[in-house]
Structure formats: C-alpha cells, structure tokens
C-alpha cells in the first residue's frame, strides 16, 4: 500500500510538471523564416501567429503569388520550430521515465 501512495504522489507531481510545461510551451516564441529572410513570422509555441514581417521588395503586384508561397513557407518553418522546442522541453521533463518509443507528450 505504501508503494501505491508513493506512486500516486509521483503521478501528481508529474501532472503538475506537465501543466507547467504546457504553460511554458504556450509562452515560448519562435520565428519562422523563408525567402532568405525576406518573410519572417513570429508565433507562440501553440501556433498563434504574433507578427509577420515582409521585405518591401516583395510588395508589388507581380510578386503576389511568390509572396503567398513565402508566407506559407515561413509559417511552416515557425510551426516546425515550435514543435521542436516543445519536444525538447518535454524531453527534459521526462528524462529517465520509461515512456514507450513514439509516444508524444504533452498529450
């Protein structure tokens, strides 16, 4: 019974750490870049876009399609970076835990 109580305490501790981690991930900021830095997107770790910066040379009518593609690419880059950051933060928290391969945290 004592082992069960100890395990329950560890579960509660882990749950609190996971909640804190999710808050930290949401507060994290990442930047996605495309077109050699001509388009930059700043977003949160949860994927909320905060700002976009576009090089003025891209703001003419003939370049509209390329600009659209660069915006999508910059957003994808920022999203990938946010996911990598979340995985790094989660890995630090779960170091040493017997988690099955391929299981993604936070849930």
Cα–Cα distance for residue pair 96/56, rounded to 1 Å: 49
Going by the DSSP 8-state scheme, the letter that residue 100 receives in this structure is P
Per the DSSP assignment, residues forming a β-bridge with 28 are none
By C-alpha distance, which of 32, 37, 42, 69 is closest to 54?
Answer: 37
Q: Kind and range of the H or E element at 47? A: none
Q: Is the previous residue joined to 63 through a cis bond, with omega within 30 degrees of 0?
A: no
Global pTM value: 0.63
- pLDDT(4) > 80: no
**Tell me: the pLDDT tens digits for 5-59?**
777 777 788 888 888 888 888 888 999 999 999 999 999 888 888 999 999 888 8
Residue with tokens 């050699």: 36
Predicted pLDDT at 48 = 87
Q: Report the 10 Å Cβ neighbour count for 41.
A: 25
């Amino acid at each position: 019974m004592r082992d069960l109580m100890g395990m329950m305490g560890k579960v509660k501790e882990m749950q609190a750490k996971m909640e804190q981690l999710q808050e930290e991930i949401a507060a994290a900021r990442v930047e996605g870049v495309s077109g050699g830095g001509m388009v930059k997107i700043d977003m949160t770790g949860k994927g909320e876009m905060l700002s976009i910066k576009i090089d003025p040379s891209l703001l003419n009518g003939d370049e509209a399609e390329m600009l659209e593609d660069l915006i999508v690419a910059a957003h994808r880059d920022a999203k990938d970076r946010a996911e990598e950051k979340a995985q790094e933060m989660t890995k630090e928290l779960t170091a040493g835990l017997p988690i099955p391969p391929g299981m993604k945290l936070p849930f």
